[in-house]
Amino acid sequence: MKPLIFVTKRIPQPALDRLAEVFELRLNPQDKALSKQQLCEAVGNADALLCLLTDSIDRDVLSAGTRLKCVSNYAVGFNNIDVEFATQRGIAVCNTPGVLTESTADLTWALIMSSARRIVESDNYLRAGSFTGWEPMLMLGHDVFAKTLGIVGMGRIGQAVARRAAGFSMRVLYHDPAADAASLPAEWQAATLEQLCRESDFISLHAPLTPQTHHLIGKEQFAWMKPSAILINTARGPIVDETALIDALQTGKIAACGLDVFENEPEVPAALRDLPNAVLLPHIGSASLETRTKMGLLAAENAIAVVLGKQPPARVN
């Protein structure tokens, strides 16, 4: 008899096929998130759970999984899981690091370029029929070449973003108390958060969401920034105080922002959606066919390894 795995939402088919080789596969048939009660019922007799970062896997859900051996998160971050309680119950928690690094770095640069050169705003302007010909002052944005890029969080994705900056002859500053400066290129300069905010033309966030990074960027940090600064966030929404961000954009404390994540997803404040100097994406940092498939296969291999009594490729606890 095969062990049972429950998958909270459809993921790329190659990953589901791989799971079906080992597990009895049960998949959420709905194209929407499950409630806590539905999650508790789903894990009741499951040996493994493959979940998304939008699923809250708290102690109630973990306690409901009386046979649960593994929670395999289809994400790098795992702030949606009570890892400490899972550890107490002997449940392995796994994630999908590495495979989405380059796709997320690419998306970060898409936001940098779009925000700097007002791409979305210009597209909307043209589609609305407002374009009547070339004008010397039309849609003036900001250059990227030879500017200063500040990176908050110098893990895999932060480093991938920094590597791409070389093509634009950019100065790179970074702030990450956990970074090993000796292992990073000498031309990348460590900085305090204040120095980074004051000197950077583009500030890109790549830190994990922890109690220490919650609202790391808020009113004080926006006051440090240049009026021409552009904030990019492809990490986690709550790293930024969204109310302070909206005020900074409305009052010209900073020039623009590019966001792939939000403080209370999927809710995005109307005041933010109404701002022409905000480029807003629906959390698509890793959304390439290749990367999402790799994520699914890694999440599958994590769950398979745990139920077979082997060491999974990416275990958190």
Catalytic residue list: 236, 265, 283
Alpha-carbon separation of residue 259 from 44, 92, 144, 175, 233 (angstroms): 37, 32, 18, 19, 5
- Residue type, position 299, single letter: A
CA atoms of 63 and 55, how far apart (whole Å) = 15
**Judging by DSSP bridges, how do beta strands 202-205 and 256-259 pair with one another?**
unpaired
Pairing label, strands 148-152, 189-190: unpaired
50 forms bridges with which residues in the sheet?
Answer: 7, 72
Cα 221 from Cα 74, distance rounded (Å): 32
3-state DSSP assignment of residue 167: helix
- What's the CA angle centered on 65, arms 28 and 27, to 5 degrees? 15
Residue 30 in contact with residue 312, Cβ under 8 Å?
no
Q: State how far the Cα of 306 lies from the Cα of 317, in Å rounded to an integer.
A: 12
The sign of the CA dihedral 272, 274, 280, 282 is: positive
